[in-house]
């Protein structure tokens, strides 16, 4: 049975979200009402997906980013994270993706759409069972550990970054459209994914993969993205 951790401060919203997530089937839902509780529970039972608020109130009243708190833990770096916010402003979406979120949904949301998004993340989270490595040029990805290796340096990837890079590498030499990445790499049903998800994840991938004088391996155009062989 897959595990989903719902980290929402408002108890009423948690109670409404719980049955939606459970409705996916074969999913155990756990709950947290603060960022610290969410991180502690994630350490304990390693959920497949964390669905949590973008920001929580900290002990001293400061703002705490749940995504940053999880990504800061090396043992939790492979968890798939669905960021939740009542703010649908693009700047908030960008910030959540920059912190390491795999996907973003604003409240209130459609129940069926939420299930689609969590199912897609659950599929991505299951890929860590593959033991093989995939190489293109000086770049290699370890499909058993969700990491990329370039010039001997390991680069930790989020599940969505890993999924996009893996798909581009498996189709090296062919230009891949944004819609194809959404449906084939990230498992969204056709015409339901947000192209901005791809744009932001590719931007983050480039920032991680290019160091000093290294060449940018991901080529882009209005027709999509390509990794040259």
Q: Where are the domains of the chain?
A: 2-127, 130-227
**Band of pLDDT at residue 128, cut at 50, 70 and 90:** very low
- In contact, 66 and 99? CB cutoff 8 Å: no
Topology, domain 130-227 = Arc Repressor Mutant, subunit A (1.10.10)
- What does pLDDT average to over the chain? 84
The pTM of this model reads 0.69
The sheet with strand 147-150 has its strands ordered as 133-136, 139-142, 147-150, 153-156
Beta partners for residue 55, in sequence order: 65
Q: Given a cut of 60, is residue 30 above it in pLDDT?
A: yes
- In contact, 5 and 18? CB cutoff 8 Å: no
Same fold: 2-127 with 130-227: no
Q: What is the pLDDT of residue 129?
A: 47
- From residue 56, how far is each of 48, 59, 111, 171, 204 by CA, in Å? 21, 10, 23, 40, 24
DSSP 97-151: HHHT-SEEEESS--HHHHHHHHHHHHHHHGGGG---EEEETTEEEETTTTEEEET
CATH class given for the domain over 2-127: alpha beta
Q: What is the pLDDT of residue 212?
A: 66
């Amino acid at each position: 049975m897959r595990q989903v951790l719902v980290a929402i401060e408002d108890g009423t919203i948690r109670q409404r979200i719980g049955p939606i997530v459970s409705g996916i089937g074969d999913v155990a839902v756990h709950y947290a009402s603060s960022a610290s509780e969410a991180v502690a529970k994630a350490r304990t039972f390693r959920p497949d997906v964390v669905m949590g608020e973008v920001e929580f109130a900290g002990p001293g009243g400061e703002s705490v980013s749940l995504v940053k708190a999880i990504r800061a833990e090396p043992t939790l770096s492979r968890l798939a994270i669905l960021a939740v916010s009542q703010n649908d402003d693009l700047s908030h979406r960008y910030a959540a993706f920059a912190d390491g979120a795999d996907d973003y949904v604003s409240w209130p949301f459609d129940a069926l759409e939420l299930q689609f998004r969590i199912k897609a993340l659950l599929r991505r989270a299951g890929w860590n069972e593959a033991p093989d490595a995939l190489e293109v040029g000086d770049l290699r990805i370890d499909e058993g550990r969700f990491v990329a290796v370039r010039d001997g340096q390991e680069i930790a990837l989020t599940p969505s970054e890993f999924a996009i890079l893996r798909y581009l590498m498996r189709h090296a030499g062919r230009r891949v459209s944004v819609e194809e990445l959404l449906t084939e790499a990230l498992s969204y049903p056709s015409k339901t994914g947000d192209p901005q998800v791809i744009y932001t994840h590719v931007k983050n991938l480039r920032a991680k993969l290019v160091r000093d004088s290294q060449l940018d391996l991901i080529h882009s155009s209005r027709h999509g993205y390509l990794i040259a062989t």
